[in-house]
């Protein structure tokens, strides 16, 4: 979890540095933000994200069950 937070922080920092330091400035930032929002809110992406989450939850439940069976 600590690594995830570190990488997330680095990603946010990189995005902030790019948006503040880019010659294009706020206009380019808004273009990037609009593109990310378009992908993020796309119904097909949302369905795929939900499917992936369901599979991950099932995998965690299965792994937990098997770990309990073998006594770990």
C-alpha distances in angstroms, 9 versus 2, 40, 46, 53, 71? Answer: 11, 20, 24, 23, 37
Give the Cα separation of 16 and 14 in Å (integer).
Answer: 5
pLDDT at residue 26 greater than cutoff 90: no
Candidates 53, 50, 48; CA nearest to 61 is 53
pLDDT at residue 22 greater than cutoff 70: no
Full-model pTM: 0.51
In a domain, 1, yes or no: no
Query: Residue 15: exposed, middle, or buried by beta-carbon count in 10 A (0-12, 13-18, 19+)?
Result: middle
**66's tokens:** 């098997």
Higher model confidence: residue 5 or residue 67? Answer: 67
In a domain, 3, yes or no: no
Number of structural domains found in the chain: 1
In a domain, 15, yes or no: no
Q: pLDDT confidence of 17, banded at 50, 70, 90?
A: confident
Kindly state the average pLDDT of the residues 31-50.
90
In a domain, 66, yes or no: yes
The boundaries of the domain holding residue 56 are: 25-72
Kindly state the average pLDDT of the residues 34-59.
92
């Amino acid at each position: 979890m600590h690594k995830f937070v570190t990488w997330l922080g680095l990603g946010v920092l990189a995005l902030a540095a790019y948006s503040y330091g880019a010659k294009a400035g706020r206009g380019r930032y808004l273009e990037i933000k609009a593109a990310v929002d378009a992908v993020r809110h796309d119904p097909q992406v949302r369905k795929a994200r939900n499917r992936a989450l369901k599979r991950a939850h099932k995998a965690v439940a299965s792994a937990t069950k098997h770990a309990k069976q073998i006594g770990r």
